[in-house]
A and B are shown apart, each in its own frame.
Chain A
Amino acid sequence: NAGVTQTPKFQVLKTGQSMTLQCAQDMNHEYMSWYRQDPGMGLRLIHYSVGAGITDQGEVPNGYNVSRSTTEDFPLRLLSAAPSQTSVYFCASSYPGTGGADTEAFFGQGTRLTVV
């Protein structure tokens, strides 16, 4: 059971380049989300999905796009990278508990992105 798998682990981009961060889970979780982690700011929600075909914005969505065509995959796209997007990105998945609000979130190992 692999859990949540993120690729790549490290990436360096030039300003203006685009790329896709991959996230896959094999736990049949309905909920998936993307967070960015910056020093002194904890983890901030970028986008999330409550199921295939459904996505919504989190706290810091600007500059990022997502799609959810399957239950397993939730890629995060940077269309035109900026230095402010230098961060560590984490993908998480969870299964809705009673009321859809209380269930453990499983995190991937993270992708460290540097934009120069």
Chain B
Amino acid sequence: GENVEQHPSTLSVQEGDSAVIKCTYSDSASNYFPWYKQELGKGPQLIIDIRSNVGEKKDQRIAVTLNKTAKHFSLHITETQPEDSAVYFCAATPITGNQFYFGTGTSLTVIP
């Protein structure tokens, strides 16, 4: 099955700085790569996603890049704010269905 690795496990940045979280995957058949944000006591919520036919996608302060050859994708958050503090998960989905394989999560802390 698919194996998704995520780094770093914890990340602290000063408010206004950028944060980058990286993931790798193993199954070349995976074609959909969502990123989820989980706040304390809540379920994960989608913040951005990218499909295999696209190399980069941006939504305001959040961007995701995908390198299919190297099998890695990254989340970039610019101008970080305290409300960005949360746990972020990457995931990969094989073409066969909606079976999401998640990374182990990154706990992001934005220091005011």
Instruction: For B28, list chain A residues within 8 Å (CB).
Output: none
Contact A109 B94 (CB under 8 A): no
Contact B102 A42 (CB under 8 A): yes
Task: Answer whether residue A2 sits at the interface, using C-beta atoms and an 8 A cutoff.
Answer: no
A-B contacts at CB below 8 angstroms, number: 78
Instruction: For B99, list chain A residues within 8 Å (CB).
Output: 33, 45, 48, 58
Instruction: For A103, list chain B residues within 8 Å (CB).
Output: 32, 98
Binding site for B on A (CB under 8 A): 4, 31, 33, 35, 40-45, 48, 50, 58-59, 90, 92, 94, 96, 99-105, 107-110
Known pairs A44-B102, A48-B98, A102-B51. 7 more at Cβ < 8 A?
A: A41-B104, A48-B99, A90-B43, A90-B44, A104-B49, A108-B43, A109-B41
Contact A42 B104 (CB under 8 A): yes
